[in-house]
Structure 1
């Protein structure tokens, strides 16, 4: 009887534990694939997830009961969402998109559409969906260049999103898988959006193919490609820098292709490209010059000319391939400099078109105007300002590779975390984003968001040095709303880059707390530490050169001021 009494007592205790704390009992059990996947997705939606391995999450999704590599209904709804976005029916597109994410939250194509819709409308959280798109795409293994290194995808929409990510468009539809060495592939011929170069992209479709064989027909790409609109290139006639000192008039036939902090790229007549260097002049021009000399290129000659009150010089080279495409063709390259100013031009066009381009080339290089400043621009923030309050109990943040370390101001607390971005809440109701990895590309995402938030430059970029002598550059802008919420409030943003590309900072504070924040911003941006020397990646064979150090070049030697309208350009050797 004693044994029975103790058994009953133990059962009562277990029942009491289950009643009072059932959650712990349940969470202690092994979750099914469906339950584990849905619990992780719920954390991501709430912003509570910071450490998810998206490769493993995608593989976990393929083990769930609701994984469908093929769905005619889903494909049709994505097309409807895309068309609603194109037609500016944002509410309809958002409603369809929410339904799609309920059924397939890891569809990168849908997240990319959401990011575009929210960015254009100024509503929602475009940064969240952009980061989801990046998280998913960068978790896809492989480089797509061969069968052996094919992208490992789990749906055709990952294929389409990857093509968006690497900026190519399919030339033909692929309907049947290709079998190679016991595996299934989609081999898609694509065309580079910027250069027009044709190549093949390889996608390993083993997982969706095997799933489809179990549940239905063989996986093929949707017959109808979503009509993603390609915006027409905008003609450009003039450019004036923010100070109003420098301006250039473009001849007819120029179109704006891309804009970066250090240069503007345009398409020219005769299938050429113009790179207008507008900041970080010495380093950017040296990068172009070094690339020309390293090809190697052949020097054809130089000439001097007059552009208003400026004396200019042209150095002419021929080289194999352009700055962005090694196609084996011969190109003419003009390096155009102006005495006494930190602006320059680089023009590249097919050598066979050089003679036909003489008229617009002469008009271009002489169409520059420069008005010296009568007084220096106001300095809004000096990086050596003494803190207005004592900094104690500082925290440190080190990126995963250990190459970049930041000393955080007292009172900071960790916020969200995404690949290559760590968020902290700072004093003065501010937010700090610590960037690693592709810092130049991530900074450009913030700059793009600035344009959507009525961003205006508050002053010329502030140049400074860190405590260990690394050159830094800070862009200060006003904006309406912060990077994560269009709340209609006024903010000041600081985009901080360094000559070392391993790290960068983005800071935002309310406009009315700007003065108070200077005290901790100054030591924050100068107390960073870079641990190891890393070679600066080549700015060529990529869409745009990337700014690095802030070096002010010595004035070019003075040249003849005689106007030579008929001899502005040197002759090209061999023509």
Structure 2
């Protein structure tokens, strides 16, 4: 199994997660045009304010997950996370450190990779990238207990996104909370992302992406609801 970062391939990790299809790496999502970006931000950013109660619930559930990873509803955890000030889809720890984290994993610098994964998880416990890398490092070290914890969380987060829709239309789009999560989710699905096109209107903000299935070379469209990301806006970017 390969796990993407936003720019480069990670060919050394194929087969590390047997429960998902082997994946080709994603190219970076196409950047939306400035007029669409401005319109979406103007309409949606003003509505977003952090929710102290959500932050309290998020922290409580993260602490619970660290004690008993099977006792947490990870779909609920994702819902709480996007209401907190921890949620930084453009300039958070995941965006800052994921590329370096994967480079360290590729180079066999497992301590560095794990340290960066931990740094991301301190801020964003729903990061697919960080749980993937932590799982890979603990697998390399033979730490079965910690490997299984991150494996379970990664599965649960992936399932929460997959169960949020079927991706076949705007009305049934998969719900994702960042471009990076979209890219990682597509790759974990075993698909290659070829192109994307942003659509923003009264229905919300959606990304229509073109993907290719490397098993049969077929191309098709998937829809993703990225309204949470646009509602959050560019604070700290």
TM-score when normalising by structure 1: 0.30
2:113, 2:79 → 1: CA distance? 28
1:209, 1:198 → 2: CA distance? 27
Aligned with residue 205 of structure 2, among 153, 175, 184 = 184
1:55, 1:93 → 2: CA distance? 26
Residues 204 and 227, structure 2, Cα contact 8 Å, conserved in 1: yes
Structure 1 residues 66 and 76, CA gap change in structure 2 (3 angstroms)? closer
Aligned with residue 169 of structure 2, among 118, 136, 146 = 146
Equivalenced residues, count: 183
2:214, 2:140 → 1: CA distance? 22
Cα deviation per residue 1:123-176 (whole Å; 9 max; x = unaligned)?
36222111101111111201112212110111223212311221101123x4x6
Residues 65 and 71, structure 2, Cα contact 8 Å, conserved in 1: no
Cα deviation per residue 1:379-406 (whole Å; 9 max; x = unaligned)?
xxxxxxxxxxxxxxxxxxxxxxxxxxxx
TM-score when normalising by structure 2: 0.70
Match of 1:83 in 2: 103
1:197 aligns with 2:218: yes
Which structure has the highest strand share of the two?
A: 1
1:137, 1:65 → 2: CA distance? 23
2:120, 2:220 → 1: CA distance? 32
Deviation at residue 37 of structure 1 after TM alignment:
1.1
Partner SS, residue 83 of structure 1: helix
Partner SS, residue 200 of structure 2: strand
Match of 1:108 in 2: 128
1:94 aligns with 2:102: no
Structure 1 residues 70 and 122, CA gap change in structure 2 (3 angstroms)? same
Which one has a bigger Cα radius of gyration?
A: 1
Residues 91 and 236, structure 2, Cα contact 8 Å, conserved in 1: no
Pairs within 5 Å for 1:124-163: 125-140=146-161, 141-163=164-186
Residues 94 and 124, structure 2, Cα contact 8 Å, conserved in 1: no
Structure 1 residues 138 and 177, CA gap change in structure 2 (3 angstroms)? same
Please, what is the CA RMSD of the aligned residues? 2.2
Match of 2:85 in 1: 65
Deviates more, 1:64-73 or 1:84-93: 64-73
2:118, 2:218 → 1: CA distance? 36
Structure 1 residues 73 and 114, CA gap change in structure 2 (3 angstroms)? closer
1:107, 1:134 → 2: CA distance? 12
**Which fold has the larger relative contact order, with Cα–Cα distance below 8 Å and residues 6 or more apart in sequence?**
2
Structure 1 residues 88 and 193, CA gap change in structure 2 (3 angstroms)? farther
Structure 1 residues 194 and 180, CA gap change in structure 2 (3 angstroms)? farther
1:205, 1:103 → 2: CA distance? 20
2:139, 2:226 → 1: CA distance? 32
Structure 1 residues 157 and 42, CA gap change in structure 2 (3 angstroms)? same
Deviation at residue 101 of structure 1 after TM alignment:
0.7
